Amino acid sequence: MQRCVDYSQLFSALEKISEVNPSEKAIGIRCTLVPGTVSDIIIPYLEERTKLKAGKDFALAMCPERILEGRAIDELFNLPEIVGGVNEESNVIFAELFRKINPKKDILYTTPTGAELAKLFTNIYRYLSFALANEFAMWAEKYGEDAHEIIKVANCEYPRCNIAKPGFAGGPCLGKDCLLLDNTTFISMVSAAWKLNETIPQHVAESIRKNIGLLYGKRIAVLGLAFKAGSDDTRLSPCVKLVDILKGYGAIVQVHDPCIPETLPISEALENPYVVVVAVNHSEFGNLAREIDESGCKLIYDVWGIFDETSFKKAMYMRLGKGT
């Protein structure tokens, strides 16, 4: 399927900027862009519409936002800022702007395209790290081992190893940002990582089905719907995909997420389930082992490995990356 970038919102914003005459003003671009968007689209569009020259008649800089959802205020204050100005004056203007937030804030200068790439490189690096951890999980399962324990051993006091924990990788930024850069003709690790991470919900569902048989008519409690811990954001969440897959098998899915009021209360989600899937590593789930074990379920699938199997006496325990 052909993937195309929708520039309609960008052009709408540029049109509004053109209408107010940007002469002697500074234009800061804070969104995530395909490399070359500033040089090939934004500057030509503004110069053609306004008959003004970027870097001469108005300042312009690409200043990508890199804050983490859930820590936005802290990171807005403390993270270094990347400034890709079209000229030195543009760099100075936006450096002064960001130092209004924190006078000691580090400013990192590059070109507009360099700034576009830096934002994508940051998210793609994280996404590929998660994909590698998930591939390690598949290998561990194949050999009947536990990826969590092996990763812990591999990382322990070893300065050249920092393997992530396997789990769901998704949300509105990481996977999407990978696709913005993966538009070249060479073989790309990005495509492989995207395909692997996107199949993990299906892998979880298949692992459950292989261990308990048909899912049709069985009650399955899914704990967690957001794309990450501590968030109420379900955009491109692998948990939503998992729920859809389980429903596709005919399961009766009961969802609880402590950050999402629209989901069921935990007592209703754990009402007579056949399977309990702990899909998000919310801190609120850390003390639920006994309640889950007493729910009468036959199988517990712990995507993030937040529990230990010794916590459960009455049900089979599985987790991503642990062979059975």
Catalytic residues, by residue number, are: 119, 173
The amino acid that residue 73 corresponds to is I
Tell me if 188 sits within 8 A of 182, measured CB to CB. Answer: yes
Four-residue CA torsion sign, 222, 223, 226, 227: negative
Phi–psi pair at 276, nearest 5 degrees = -120, 125
Q: What is the spatial distance between Cα 245 and Cα 204, in angstroms, rounded to a whole number?
A: 10
Query: What's the token pair of residue 321?
Result: 């990356």
Strands 275-278 and 252-256 come out as unpaired
Cross-strand partners of 28 = 61
Buried-state track 144-156, b at ≥16 Cβ within 10 A, e below 16: eebbbebbeeeee
Query: What's the token pair of residue 261?
Result: 């009021």
Q: What is the spatial distance between Cα 244 and Cα 262, in angstroms, rounded to a whole number?
A: 17
Cross-strand partners of 278 = 223, 302
Four-residue CA torsion sign, 210, 216, 221, 224: positive
Q: What is the spatial distance between Cα 130 and Cα 126, in angstroms, rounded to a whole number?
A: 6
Tell me if 18 sits within 8 A of 49, measured CB to CB. Answer: yes
Q: CA gyration radius for the chain?
A: 24
Look-up: residue for tokens 């209408």?
19
The amino acid that residue 238 corresponds to is P
